[in-house]
Amino acid sequence: MINEAYERLNTGLKYLLDDEQNKWLESALDQITHSDDLINDLLNLSAATRRKLGADLLGSDVNPLQLTSGLFARHWTVADAGRVLLVLRSVLTVASQAQTVIQTYFQQGDETEVAAITRMLILFENGETLKPFALEVGRTNSKPLFVALAQYNPYPAKYYSDHEFNQLVLKALFLGIGIDPVIGLLKRANPELSQMCEDYIKERVAANRSIPSDIWLALEPCASVEGEALMVSHLVNDSPRDRYYIVKALLQQNPLSPKRQQLLNEHQQVEKDPIVLALFAKTTKS
């Protein structure tokens, strides 16, 4: 898995970098391969990656650069990709010391470096043993670092317990981080998570505070009767963004019950926002 991901990312990145950047990256990877002091070389080269490669988002230029199931690089920066390559090259070079390389990088890397390795955790075969690193990242109050763990990252969905996954989702909501990009959100849904979201909505309403627009995606799968009623009552919100996520959450039920189908049909007749209406069109086509 690591070798395949390395080759895919290395090949994809070459098309985005200019000659000078490619020359530096090739030299850096070669230095790692033949290093007599690999960990120090890795840390030094990693520190220079942003300056040498830049911090632009990879975006659609490498789409669909899929490194492994559920992990796409298009949400990374060029510097993230460069750092991931350096770490992967290090692990491939000294496979017997992979755990030491990962641990040292987590402990001595700066926030952007820790974010980069957090995004790639799913690539390591000993994924379960790396959970303490992921959980430590999950305790941070840094939004950029937490985003690296929570959004577009398949690691939590695969290795977290229900309680750990629920806490990840709730903390994202507390920090104002969108949960729509949380991989495995629908698959990992459970009654406790739905109840936690329902309670959080009630708290926000009681305090006259706004509700996270996409919280409904986590509430809906195992919603109680009261939770279902909450969704329906907020379907008339003035904000198109709020209505978008409520409709999207309601459409998660598969197959739709007759009652919910009728509700959605009625709402479709009065909905004016084109983005919300596009959800219905997409569902009809699929």
One pLDDT digit (tens) per residue for the chain, 286 residues: 789 999 989 988 888 899 999 999 999 999 999 999 999 999 999 999 999 999 998 876 655 577 887 888 888 999 999 999 999 999 999 988 888 999 999 999 999 999 999 999 999 988 899 999 999 999 999 999 999 999 999 999 999 999 999 999 999 999 999 999 999 999 999 999 999 999 999 999 999 999 999 999 999 999 999 999 999 999 999 999 999 999 999 999 999 999 999 999 999 999 999 999 999 887 755 5
Nearest in space to 170 (alpha carbons), one of 94, 34, 156, 244: 156
CB 45 within 8 A of CB 28: yes
Instruction: Write phi, then psi, for 126 (nearest 5 degrees).
Output: -90, 45
Local structure of 189: helix, strand or coil:
coil
Domain boundaries, the chain: 1-130, 160-286
Position 67, amino acid: L
Instruction: Write phi, then psi, for 77 (nearest 5 degrees).
Output: -90, 165
Burial of 245 (0-12, 13-18, 19+ CB in 10 A): buried
Give the DSSP H/E element, type plus range, for residue 224. Answer: none
Neighbours of 57 (CB within 10 A): 13
CA atoms of 138 and 143, how far apart (whole Å): 10
CB 210 within 8 A of CB 249: no
Nearest in space to 66 (alpha carbons), one of 114, 104, 28, 12: 12
Structure tokens at 115: 């974010």
Burial of 194 (0-12, 13-18, 19+ CB in 10 A): buried
Nearest in space to 13 (alpha carbons), one of 70, 69, 88: 88
pLDDT at 282: 77
